[in-house]
Every structure is written in structure tokens, then in C-alpha cells.
Structure 1
């Protein structure tokens, strides 16, 4: 059985950027009557339809090294208030229990100082491997260098923009779906759902390069349809989302009123915090703005979607599956074999295809990894 310890590290030094709003042109006229070029709209609708399929066979690794015994993993979390980070941590713990390793989780508390302290503590523990859980390794360059010097393999989750191995920073692998595909499909959902006529707000966290890159890609895809107008891009750091999002939503409602028809957020949690402000303004949960999360598909997002309360869709990460993949990648590193290179396909969940589930959990991966590890 895996031993699991939750630790807290760091001080309350707030180095995050504060919430900012940037507007896409002035004045903003809201949804355009122009719509989309037919080919653009058709492409968006086809992509969304494909991503909404649920009977997807396992297309990941089916071979690899047998389980290496007696290893210890430290999972350094950006913040355990981020549901995606928490979901992956649970997947790592579940997989470690199967393979026979121990796991310790250290919470960076969402601040640069806290994350640095958490990773320093992880390195000092001299574990077999360390997970960079949802933060920019550039924040912790000194600690990353110390881990590299100590020959402690690092595996990232949403740590850098691209999946797979990284030389700078030195990651054995970075686990994520393709951020380009997630951004494209979340924007395409807006294009398809609105039939090419929408006024959109994007919620992002510019303090995290992964999130900033995702939101820029979302805006680029929205711009392929002239009938979709970007009303605002709201920069709200994830640790500040609970306190700042309701205020931002109230201001957006006052500024744009009926022009605001759709939203895309880099993380579903923004809509948990937006719901009270939308409800207080008298907005029905199943009406505009129609909201889609471009990650991570936590249980509360599925609950909002299934109950049609202020969120219509999510592009969920397969969080548990990615936790299992992290353990498998470490096993490959410990066996001196290359990373698997696997990237999970992108999926869109709605009330019509969720089946009442509270997270996206594609089939096949547990048995596949058990077979690989001989467990």
C-alpha cells in the first residue's frame, strides 16, 4: 500500500499578479451579424462533434518495464485549491498504491514563495522522483537545478506548454493533453454553439505561462470567425479567483449587458466563483452567458453542467488517467527507458454526454498499466 502524507510549505508572500481586464477594441458592439465563413463554421462543428464522442478505446501504452519496487514520490502542488491539481494527485496516489510506492503531497499554497519552499522541501527529502504539479518550473529554477544535480527525475503536469520530455527545464516528461487542441476545441464549441455569432469573455491567469499560452490560443481561434467578438480578457490569478471573480463578473454584466453571450475559462473553477454573481443579477443558470471551461473538468464543473447551472460544457483533462501516466513515466525513468510519449485525446463533456459522471474517466488505462507493471 502507498503511504500518503499531506504537508504544507511556504509563507504567505503574495507574488501573484492581480486581476486585470483587457478589452478587445473600443467600442465593442457585441455579437456580429456577419457570422462565420461556411468552411470555418463547418470545421468547428465537425471538430466539436468528434470531441464529444465517449466510447473512445484506450490508445495509450500497452508495453513497458515491470514495476520497480520500493520507490517514493513527492507531489509538489501549485495549490491544493486547484481542482485539477488535486485530481491528478489522487490519480498518482491511486496508481502508486497499485505499483507499491509511497507518495507525499506538499502544497505550495499558490504563491511563488510557497511553491519555492515546497519544492525545496521535496528535494531535501531525497525522494525517488518529484512531480511538478501545475506550476511554472521557472519560478523554482534554483530548486529544479538542485533536483537535477541530485539526479532526482522530475515529471511535470501542466508545467510547460508542450507534452513530453523537456530539456529546459529538465523534465523527464510533461503530462498534459495538447494545449493547442484544448484551446481550439473550446473556442470551436463557442463558434459552433452560437452558429458563429457571439460576444465572448475569456478568463485566464497570466501569472502561469501554461494558462497564458492557452488563453492566447483560445483568442486566436475565436478570431477565425468574424461574427465572434472578444469583449474582454479577464486576468485573475487562480489563488485569487474566489475573491475576485464575482466582482469581475458583476462589472462585466454592467458593462456589456446583453452583448455577453459566451465565456471561455482556462479552468472550470472560475465558473464556480462566477455563479453567485450571475445568480444575484437574475441570470438563469441555463441562459447566456453560456460557459465552457478549457480545463480541468473537476467534479463541481460536471455538477454545474448536469444541473445546467452557469456552465454548459468543459474540455476536461482525464485527471486520474494522467496521475496513472505520471507513475508509469517514473517507472520508465527508474528503468532507464525513454518516456512513453503518450498524449491523451481531447474530449468535450456536456449534459448530453456526461452520463451523470462527475469527472472524465476514459476506460482501459488502469488495466493497461497493471498489465505493464505486472500488478
Structure 2
């Protein structure tokens, strides 16, 4: 029912095999409850409620400004507008972690679209979500001797032999979510890696809660500490929430993604019983937690449009958009601009083929809500197609 789950489970297996397990769980309490308007206030008398909401005026001001900017859909293209003209007659191979992952598939669509525009050929090889499948797909890609290879959504350290073979053959590699940070990578060697900055995603997610609650919320954070990247994101979220004294962390729920479908409904039921109306907002490192939480919220009689108000700190797969647009237990997400990132991958390869450095562009974070999604199922900003086409025509 949720195609992203197969990908997420496989991703956990890949991360665990490469980096081992990190575990942790922290718990706390918060004195806030939700009003009829959905805004969080304190359970103490009105004077205390006002003090809570006013407890972080500077953080609240900054959060509101940041969220307002991130929710805009009419922003101008701020990516590259100059670069080398199109290098002709190139072929790319896109090695996908699994094409059942909407993110991986969305980027592949963008790569094929941009390659057709620039006059290149693209072949997609599906790793089918297993380490063995990904290694086989990568081996096949190297054997084809393409001009460049895209590492689509998996850790290249788990395909070190294939990476070494590509390097020996002089085939440049570009990653999408291959390592945790955007830009070039020395180990593993990547011309560049395309992703939003995890720090920015964590910050805007926390800002959304601070702004949405007027600086007075009771928050549950859902994460998977077995994935170092996810744990790092969750810790950043905690740190950002702590900027506002009126925002209290109720609990930090460590639920491994492979166990999420079984554990999340039980945990959510327990949390609802434990915190009641003090639980006003949630942040999850992956949208799928809210798909799993929905039955428990529904069984408890919670309204689909909140509270609690839930935001996914990253990804933005189609099912998340559907929940947001339908008011079904998710209010917002911080999506990746998948098609645009596919176009960027093609442009970065063109720079590599021309002997130019990477562009250095990193897409800014964007917050999607029912008010600005326009009924869509992905985030596709404007202006990048025209900008890249103009560069390549020079």
C-alpha cells in the first residue's frame, strides 16, 4: 500500500551493514495542550499560557519568517545560469537503489527528461532494493562503459569494488543521496552529490512547529537511531526545538523503520494515553511514520487535520502529499525537488565532461502544506528547465 516502505527497509539494511547500530531513547514532559483553533497553550492559568507563548519572541519571529519564505511557491530560480555548452553524444547509466522508491524514481524521471533535452541517452538499471541486487546493477553499469554513472539513493561504500572499477575506467560518478552532504566527495570519490542539507531540513521542520504553535507546543519526535543519518537529523531537530522554552519535547521515539508498521500504531496509542492533549505536534525523520500512525489516531477519535499536527522532515513522497492534501494525519512535509535534481545531475555531468568544476548549487528547503501544494503529489519548482536549457545552448 505504501511503496516507499520497501525502499526504507532496504535502506536500513544497507546503512546497518555499512555503519552498525546506534540506539537511544530520551523522554521528557511538557505542560501544553491544544486549543480549539489548533494552537498550543499551557495547561496552567491564562497568565502562564501567555508567558509560555511569549517565552521565545526572537526564536518565534525568526521561525515565522523562515517558514513563510519556505512555503512560497513563486520563488525565482537561484541555481546556475552559466556553464559549459552541451557536450554531445554522451550516455548515462542510472543505477537505482530500487525504482519502487518514489524519490529514486522521481530523480530518474528528471535525468531522462533532461538527457533527452541535451541529446544524451540514459539507461536505468534497478538494484531492486537489496545489497546483492545493487552490486549486480552497478557491475552491469560499469561493464557498459557509459560516459557517466548516477548512484541513485544508496551508499557507494557498499559497492566499493564497483566504484573502484568505475574510477579505473575513468567513468565519473554523481550521487543522489549517496552521502549525507551535498557537493563533491573524496571518499567515496564522487564528482558531486545531490541532496538538500540535513541541517536546513531539521531547522525548517522545527521552525514550522515553533511558528505553527505560536511558541507553545508539546512535541513527539519519531526517528530511527539505527540509521546514523536519521539519528543526526533527529538530534538537530531537538536542538532547534530547544531554542524556544515554550516548546517542550514530550518524547523521542526510536522506532526502526523496518518495524514501523507494527510498532508505530502501538506506540502512538500509548503516547495518546500518556500525554493526551499535551501532545500537539510531531516531527518524523520520514513521512512513512504518519502513514503507520494514522490508524491509531483514527481509533482514538483524533481529527485528520490535527491536533497533533504532523510534519515529515524530509522526502515528500507522493503518499505524504496525499495525506496532506486530504487532511489525513499529516499537515506538512519538507520534500526534495526530485525532477529538478535530475536535471541538475545532467548539468553536473556536462560540467564534468567539459572539465569544469561542479556548480555548487544546493536546492533550498521547501515546506509543503495543503494551502500551497496545489493538489500536487511532488514539489517541482519553476525556472530550472529554462535556465539549464539556456546554459546548454551556448
Q: Normalising TM by the smaller chain, what interval?
A: 0.7 to 0.9
2:112 counterpart (93, 115, 131): 93
Q: Is the 8 A contact 2:22 2:225 kept in 1?
A: no
Taking the aligned partners of 1:12 and 1:109, their CA distance within structure 2 comes to 11
CA 1:78–1:229 in 2, change beyond 3 Å: closer, same or farther? farther
Aligned to 1:297: 316
Partner Cα distance (2:354, 2:236) in 1: 37
Distance 2:197 2:351 in 1: 22
Corresponding position of 2:3:
none
User: TM-score, structure 1 length as denominator?
Assistant: 0.86
After superposition, give the CA deviation of every residue in 1:94-118 in whole Å (9 maximum; x if it has no partner).
Answer: 1122222232333334444443343
Distance 1:338 1:296, change over 3 A: same
Contact 2:103 / 2:315 at 8 angstroms: preserved in 1?
Answer: yes
Deviates more, 1:76-85 or 1:146-155: 76-85
The structure-2 alpha-carbon separation of the partners of 1:176 and 1:20, relative to structure 1 and needing over 3 Å to count, comes to closer
1:223 has 2:242 as partner: yes
Query: Could you tell me how far apart the structure 2 residues matched to 1:243 and 1:106 are?
Result: 32
**Between 185-194 and 101-110, the greater mean CA deviation after superposition:** 101-110
- Unaligned 5+ residue runs, structure 2? 1-9, 33-41, 43-48
Contact 1:119 1:143 in 2 (8 A): yes
Q: Following the alignment from structure 1 to structure 2, what is the Cα–Cα distance between the partners of residues 285 and 146?
A: 51
SS class of match (1:350): coil
Structure 1, 261-270 or 178-187: larger mean CA deviation:
261-270
Partner of 2:27: 25
Per-residue CA deviation, residues 72-98 of structure 1 (Å, 9 max, x unaligned), is 222223333432222212111211222
Q: Secondary structure at the match of 2:122?
A: strand
Question: Which runs of 5 or more structure 1 residues have no equivalent in the other structure?
Answer: 1-10
Alignment correspondent of 1:69: 88
Verify: 1:125 aligned to 2:127, yes or no: no
Greater mean alpha carbon deviation, residues 40-49 or residues 144-153: 144-153
2:196 to 177, 182, 194: 177
Change (3 A) 1:247 1:67: farther
| Counterparts of residues 349-360 of structure 1 (less than 5 Å) | 349-360=368-379
2:297 to 264, 268, 278: 278
Based on CA coordinates, which of the two structures has the bigger radius of gyration?
Answer: 2
Aligned match of 2:176: 157
- Counterpart CA distance in 2 for 1:59 and 1:133 is 24
Tell me which moved more, 98-107 or 13-22. 13-22
Displacement of 1:340 in angstroms is 0.8
Q: CA deviation at 1:209?
A: 4.0
Instruction: From the superposition, tell whether residues 239 and 81 of structure 1 become closer, same or farther in structure 2 (CA, over 3 Å).
Output: farther
Distance 1:359 1:119 in 2: 28
Paired position in structure 1 for 2:46: none
RMSD value, Cα: 3.0
The answer on whether the counterparts of 2:63 and 2:208 sit within 8 Å (CA) in structure 1 is yes
1:1-28 superposed Cα distances (whole Å, 9 cap, x missing partner): xxxxxxxxxx9995665999843235x3
**CA deviations over 1:302-324 (Å, ceiling 9, x no partner):** 22222211111112211110110
Match of 2:39 in 1: none
SS at match of 2:294: helix
Instruction: Report the TM-score, using the length of structure 2 for normalisation.
Output: 0.82
When structure 1 is superposed on structure 2, of 218-227 and 313-322 the one drifting more is 218-227
**How many residue pairs were aligned?**
365
Maintained 8 Å contact 1:312/1:350: yes
- Evaluate the alpha carbon distance shift between residue 231 and residue 124 of structure 1 in structure 2; reply closer, same or farther with a 3 A threshold: farther
Give the drift of 1:235: 4.1
1:187 matched to 2:206: yes
Q: What is the CA deviation profile of residues 171-198 of structure 1, one whole-angstrom value per residue up to 9, with x for unaligned ones?
A: 1111122221111011110111112222
User: Does residue 372 of structure 1 match 2:391?
Assistant: yes
| CA apart distance, 1:138 | 2.8
* Aligned-partner Cα distance in 2 for 1:365–1:72: 22
Please, which moves more after superposition, 151-160 or 201-210? 201-210
- Distance in 1 separating the partners of 2:291 and 2:126: 22
In structure 1, C-alpha distance between the alignment counterparts of 2:263 and 2:315, rounded to whole Å = 20
